Amino acid sequence: MRKITLEEHFSTPELSKNLVAKPTKSESRFKDIVCRLNDFDELRIETMDKAGIDLQVISVTAPGVQAHSNIKEAIRLAQQANDMLAVQIQKRPTRYAGFAHLATQDAYAAADELERAVKNLGFLGALINGQTNGHFLDEEMYFPFWERVQDLDVPIYLHPGRMADLPLIYNGHPELIGPIWSWGCDTAAHALRMVFAGTFKRYPRVKIILGHMGEMIPYFFWRLDSRWKAYQSEKVAPEDLPSTIIKNHFVITTSGVFNPDVLINAIAAMGKDNVMFSVDYPYEDTQLASSFIETAPISEEVRAKICYGTAERILKINLQSPTPSTP
């Protein structure tokens, strides 16, 4: 079955100096990951071909320029990364597409770069690596950014990044920090901040993509709704249930969670039109991801939606015709 994947990463030599943490204890595996992050040729294409992936939507790996304290430098490096990716997409417009990298230290600069990436480079949206300098996307400073996102009508992928601080609960347990646990909690809380801040009331056409099977949120719908009724906040009407807001404004991907039972729960919670296949290349095993989605016990109609149909709708592309390329 044809496949589009949306959480697939790259890096630039300059941004590689800043990688979040070693994603593995194995030196050789780490070397392989860094090599694959910087590759757009044989390694990436061979892996895609073997797993039957038609199109990768590629983005800068965490944390990228969001870790930079010098804002001017962050803006420059983000533009440079987007230009580099655009060159690779132009070489293989039917295989690669892009999510923009943005210097979210400055909401206006991020909005301008998103507009440039979408209009001039043919990118399909942006991927943001969590908080920036302790600021979260629901804050007032980001209103101009969301206004532009809404005007451009492109999705924003909210991906884990560096944590703003380290809660005491993780003291003495470095194994809990990162993809194994803290990134999921952190990204879920970031997404829920937007839900409860009324971001989607203010910007009703904004769409957010969450990876890792929805960062645990779909599993929590019933509890979110029942406790919401008990607590509430003044920014969201009591009749607007969190699960309804999430189903209307979020789409999730399977990145890094290749378990059919979890997939079935995710489809039941989010709806069959709100789940998309993704891998999280090069951190995850592309072949394992592909076999998982090919063999999951779901109907062929739903499999087609998850593998490419919903991505085509959300990204406004058609696999049969090339992705938008540089004019």
Q: How far is the CB of 269 from Mn ion (least distance, A)?
A: 21
Distance in angstroms (rounded) separating the CA atoms of residues 57 and 65: 19
Q: Considering 106, 261, 280, 285, which one is annotated as catalytic? A: 280
Cβ proximity of 79 and 113 under 8 Å: yes
Interacting stretch for Mn ion, rule CB under 5 A, among 48-56, 245-253, 274-282, 310-318? 274-282
Interacting stretch for Mn ion, rule CB under 5 A, among 75-83, 111-119, 185-193, 273-281? 273-281
Interacting stretch for Mn ion, rule CB under 5 A, among 33-41, 108-116, 270-278, 280-288? 280-288
DSSP per residue, 2-61? --EEEEEEE--TTGGGG-SS-S-S-HHHHHHHHHHHT--SHHHHHHHHHHT--EEEEEEP
DSSP per residue, 49-95? HHHT--EEEEEEPSSGGGG-S-HHHHHHHHHHHHHHHHHHHHHSTTT
- Is residue 186 close enough to count as binding Mn ion by CB under 5 A? no
Residue count at the site for Mn ion (CB under 5 A)? Answer: 2
H/E element holding 301? helix 300-304
Q: How far is the CB of 9 from Mn ion (least distance, A)?
A: 6
* Tokens describing residue 45: 């294409």
Q: How far is the CB of 152 from Mn ion (least distance, A)?
A: 23
Interacting stretch for Mn ion, rule CB under 5 A, among 32-40, 46-54, 91-99, 276-284? 276-284
**Of 192, 178, 180, which Cα lies nearest the Cα of 223?**
192
* Residue 280 annotated in active site: yes
Compare residues 211 and 309 and give the one whose CB is closer to Mn ion: 211
Q: How far is the CB of 99 from Mn ion (least distance, A)?
A: 11
Compare residues 37 and 266 and give the one whose CB is closer to Mn ion: 37
**Binding test (CB under 5 A) with Mn ion, winner from 280, 282, 284, 323:** 280
Q: How far is the CB of 77 from Mn ion (least distance, A)?
A: 19
Cβ proximity of 209 and 187 under 8 Å: no
Instruction: Identify any residues that bridge with 10 across adjacent strands, giving them in sequence order.
Output: 60
End-to-end CA distance of the chain: 31
Q: Which residues make up the interface to Mn ion (CB under 5 A)?
A: 7, 280
Residues annotated as catalytic are: 280
